[in-house]
């Protein structure tokens, strides 16, 4: 039997770094906030309740949409991080529009107490949930949490509202009437100390989460986390701006409102990219499954029939003139079918060295030949190139064994000069006359040359009677 060949271990894939987008967002927010503080010429405030309501509606819809996406991610992966982010966005989405609208427009409370403390509490809890999600990372959460996806935020909101309602007039006034001032030049820094503390806690939570999430996105190559990191940066600086201009509870629009909407825009981009990647992966899975189905059909159908023909032809009387031709044709067709099955069942990201090792091991076992394989595992090739190179190697090895009687075949894959890559198949067979072989027009050589040109590359054959042969493919 042929020698066993060790398989190459696939090289680990290096994750892309997404930190640049987060750093750019930090720099942008710092410039905006600094300009707001120290620029004496630019008015940052616009009194427009309708536009305020439009932005709140957009923020709420995006938050709830991304929360739905995260809920489905949790159902598929079971990560606690996805569940916490889902809860945070539900809370933030409801606080942006529903809570404020119900309290102020439906119930009619605008005394600066419940209509401020209730949304503030919900938003602070949402910010802390985002920070908790960044801390837990990719830990797996209990499946029973899916029952609380919507129930937990509703219970929290109702509970906080009940406590604040019972407190009633004993609650401190969060915001005074000085916010009615139409000056948009100087920061107000107004409100109850607890209001300012709440905004500060929210800002710190979002900013800390942005740093941690950016690192996780680089490690896990997660598209949604990639956009979540700068979104948290915008949300954190929005809370910082609310410390200076608490426009969140007024009809005024300030930079904090714009930054907050920018946060949800980035979340929407991340959600759409996540959906695009998901459906692309689903398409690839469907293609792989179909290829494997075809491979099974070939293996269980065509290959079995070819194996039967080979066995039956070998049992024909030796006097039969076409016995050898039939047997050789069956063996060659069986080899082609095996190559097709291997190609259909292979994984797209298999390293070239691993594929060559596997094909060499199969050839060594089938033809009882000693194969020496030396490959540079750092050499990469796409799927079509891997298939072409394996077919060239198989054809060269089969020709060396059948026609040249080779007992030793060496396969080498190395990097050549000027960035080229080179596959060499060398045997100790009887060799052949290259001029005569080219004149006869053997299909095997023609097929190998065509595959080499399609890499794109070139093939060179060196041989002489009694001196073996060498096939070199350069691409």
Which pair of tokens denotes residue 392? 């060239």
Q: Are residues 168 and 279 in the same domain?
A: yes
CA 365/CA 34 separation, integer angstroms: 72
Predicted confidence at residue 63, as pLDDT, reads 95
Q: Is residue 404 part of a domain?
A: yes
Q: Which residues contact 13 (CB under 8 A, 6 or more apart)?
A: 349
The DSSP letter of residue 190 is -
Q: Are residues 252 and 142 in the same domain?
A: yes
Which pair of tokens denotes residue 149? 């996806």
The DSSP letter of residue 467 is S
Q: Are residues 269 and 363 in the same domain?
A: no
The DSSP letter of residue 140 is B
Domain containing 146 equals: 19-283
- Reply yes or no on whether the pLDDT at 210 is more than 80: yes
Q: Is residue 309 part of a domain?
A: no
Which pair of tokens denotes residue 25? 């967002």
- Reply yes or no on whether the pLDDT at 285 is more than 90: no
Predicted confidence at residue 341, as pLDDT, reads 73
Per-residue confidence band for 7, with pLDDT thresholds at 50, 70 and 90: very low
- Reply yes or no on whether the pLDDT at 135 is more than 90: yes
Predicted confidence at residue 43, as pLDDT, reads 56
CA 3/CA 426 separation, integer angstroms: 17
Q: Is residue 296 part of a domain?
A: no
Per-residue confidence band for 10, with pLDDT thresholds at 50, 70 and 90: very low
Q: Is residue 307 part of a domain?
A: no
Compute the average pLDDT of residues 297-309.
77
How much is the pTM?
A: 0.64
- Reply yes or no on whether the pLDDT at 103 is more than 90: no
pLDDT in tens, 142-170: 888 988 998 999 999 999 989 988 888 88
Token pair 């080779």 is at which residue?
406
Which pair of tokens denotes residue 91? 């809370």
Which pair of tokens denotes residue 287? 């293609």
More confident residue, 386 or 11: 386
Residue where a domain terminates, one of 283, 300, 322: 283
Predicted confidence at residue 14, as pLDDT, reads 40
Q: Are residues 351 and 279 in the same domain?
A: no
**Considering the chain, what is the average pLDDT of its residues?**
82
Q: Are residues 71 and 191 in the same domain?
A: yes
Q: Are residues 75 and 171 in the same domain?
A: yes
Predicted confidence at residue 230, as pLDDT, reads 95
Long-range contacts of 48-53 (CB under 8 A, 24+ apart): 48/251, 48/252, 48/253, 49/251, 51/253, 52/251, 52/252, 52/253, 52/257
Lowest-confidence segment of 194-208, 297-311, 353-367 by average pLDDT: 297-311
Q: Among residues of the chain, what percentage have pLDDT more than 90? A: 26
Per-residue confidence band for 343, with pLDDT thresholds at 50, 70 and 90: low
Predicted confidence at residue 362, as pLDDT, reads 80
What is the CA 384 to chain-centroid distance, rounded?
22
Domain count within the chain: 2
Predicted confidence at residue 1, as pLDDT, reads 39
C-alpha closest to that of 204 among 263, 121, 133, 128 = 128
Predicted confidence at residue 3, as pLDDT, reads 40
pLDDT in tens, 21-50: 889 999 999 998 888 777 655 556 777 778
The DSSP letter of residue 322 is T
- Reply yes or no on whether the pLDDT at 280 is more than 90: no
Predicted confidence at residue 417, as pLDDT, reads 60
Q: Are residues 141 and 277 in the same domain?
A: yes
Predicted confidence at residue 9, as pLDDT, reads 35
pLDDT in tens, 400-438: 888 888 889 999 988 766 678 889 999 988 888 777 665
CA 356/CA 391 separation, integer angstroms: 10
The CATH number of the domain where 363 resides is what? 3.30.565.10
Determine whether 215 is exposed, middle or buried from the number of CB atoms within 10 Å of its CB (0-12, 13-18, 19+). Answer: middle
Predicted confidence at residue 88, as pLDDT, reads 96
């Amino acid at each position: 039997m042929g020698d066993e060949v060790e398989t190459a271990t696939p090289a680990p894939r290096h994750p892309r770094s997404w930190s640049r987008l987060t750093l750019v967002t930090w720099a942008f927010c710092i410039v905006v906030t600094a300009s707001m503080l120290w620029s004496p010429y630019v008015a940052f405030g616009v009194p427009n309740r309708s536009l305020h309501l439009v932005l709140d509606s957009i923020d709420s819809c995006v938050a709830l949409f991304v929360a739905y996406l995260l809920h489905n991610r949790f159902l598929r992966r079971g990560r606690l991080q996805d569940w916490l982010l889902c809860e945070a966005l539900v809370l933030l989405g409801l606080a942006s529009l529903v809570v404020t609208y119900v309290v102020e427009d439906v119930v009619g409370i605008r005394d600066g107490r419940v209509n401020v403390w209730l949304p503030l509490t919900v938003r602070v809890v949402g910010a802390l949930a985002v920070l908790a999600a960044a801390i837990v990372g990719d830990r797996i959460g209990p499946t029973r949490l899916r029952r609380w996806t919507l129930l937990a935020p509703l219970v929290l909101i109702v509970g906080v509202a009940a406590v604040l309602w019972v407190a009633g007039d004993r609650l401190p006034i969060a915001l005074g009437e000085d916010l009615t001032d139409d000056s948009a030049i100087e920061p107000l820094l107004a409100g109850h100390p607890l209001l300012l503390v709440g905004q500060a806690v929210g800002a710190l939570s979002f900013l800390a989460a942005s740093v941690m999430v950016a690192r996780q996105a680089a490690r896990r190559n997660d598209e949604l986390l990639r956009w979540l990191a700068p979104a948290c940066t915008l949300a954190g600086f929005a809370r910082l701006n609310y410390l200076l201009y608490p426009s969140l509870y007024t009809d005024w629009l300030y930079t904090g409102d714009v930054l907050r909407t920018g946060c949800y825009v980035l979340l929407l981009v991340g959600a759409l990219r996540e959906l695009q990647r998901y459906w692309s992966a689903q398409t690839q899975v469907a293609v792989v499954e179909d290829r494997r189905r075809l491979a099974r059909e070939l293996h269980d159908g065509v290959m079995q029939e070819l194996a039967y023909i080979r066995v039956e032809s070998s049992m024909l009387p030796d006097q039969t003139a076409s016995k050898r031709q039939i047997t050789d044709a069956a063996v060659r067709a069986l080899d082609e079918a095996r190559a097709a099955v291997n190609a259909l069942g292979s994984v797209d990201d298999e390293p070239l060295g691993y594929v060559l090792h596997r094909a060499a091991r199969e050839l060594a076992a089938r033809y009882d030949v000693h194969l020496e394989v030396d490959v540079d595992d750092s050499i990469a090739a796409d799927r079509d190139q891997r298939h072409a190179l394996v077919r060239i190697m198989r054809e060269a090895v089969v020709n060396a064994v059948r026609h040249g009687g080779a007992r030793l075949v060496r396969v080498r894959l190395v990097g050549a000069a000027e960035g080229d890559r080179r596959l060499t198949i060398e045997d100790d067979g009887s060799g052949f006359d290259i001029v005569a072989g080219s004149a006869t027009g053997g299909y095997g050589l023609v097929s190998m040359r065509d595959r080499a040109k399609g890499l794109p590359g070139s093939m060179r054959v060196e041989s002489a009677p009694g001196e073996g042969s060498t096939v070199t493919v350069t691409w």
